[in-house]
Amino acid sequence: MEAFTELTAVAAPLPMANVDTDKIIPARFLKTIKRTGLGVHLFDTLRYDEMGEERPDFVLNREPYRNAQILIAHENFGCGSSREHAPWALLDFGIRCVIAPDFADIFHNNTFKNGILPIRLPREICDQLMADAAMGENARITVDLAEQVVVRPNGERIHFEIDPFRKHLLLNGLDDIGQTMQHKASIDRYEATQRDEKSWMPHIAIA
């Protein structure tokens, strides 16, 4: 998993509440278990019409937001079903940070597991950031995870809260497997002991 430290990027304003996971990635695209290739279908029903043509008024179909790495939305982002494909689609598109007043719990957990930083900020601040984002390429927003601040284009620094353990995981690029591999030496010692004491049992080595 790619570490998240500091990001300065174009932010896409999405002034919508209750954006559910089916809106983020419709169910018909959930046939794959790969984490790649889903970005093209991110917000599919919002981005494309019935003929598969881009809707020119949708934010991610306009410059400079085609290359946005930050998404700003309203309340209850990521509600609905618990599909992990939702953060996969965001990440594959290029989104590394989502800022909203609050998130659905399962989606919130899944973002951390996939290297995306979800930031909770009050609605009025999200609206200010959306106004900043509407200015386009010359109004980039900075997210500094170590300092726990969002920096507006005018230099104002906005503090955000984050669980210390989740902060540590993101800063070090550790997903569930990465956390486990930090204990590889202890696991290897345990496995060696088990091989000696219970030679009749099959053992699987950790590469």
Q: Looking at the whole model, is its pTM more than 0.75?
A: yes
| Residue at token pair 């990521």 | 78
Write out pLDDT tens, residues 112-155: 999 999 999 999 999 999 999 999 888 899 999 999 999 999 99
Q: If you average pLDDT over residues 31-45, what whole number do you get?
A: 90
Give CATH superfamily name and number for 6-162. Aconitase, domain 4 (3.20.19.10)
Domain extents for the chain? Answer: 6-162, 175-207
Half-sphere exposure of 75 (CA within 13 A, CB side): 3
| Neighbouring residues of 123: CB distance < 8 A, sequence distance ≥ 6 | 74, 75, 101
Residues for the chain: how many in total? 207
Q: What pLDDT band is residue 28 in, cutting at 50, 70 and 90? A: very high
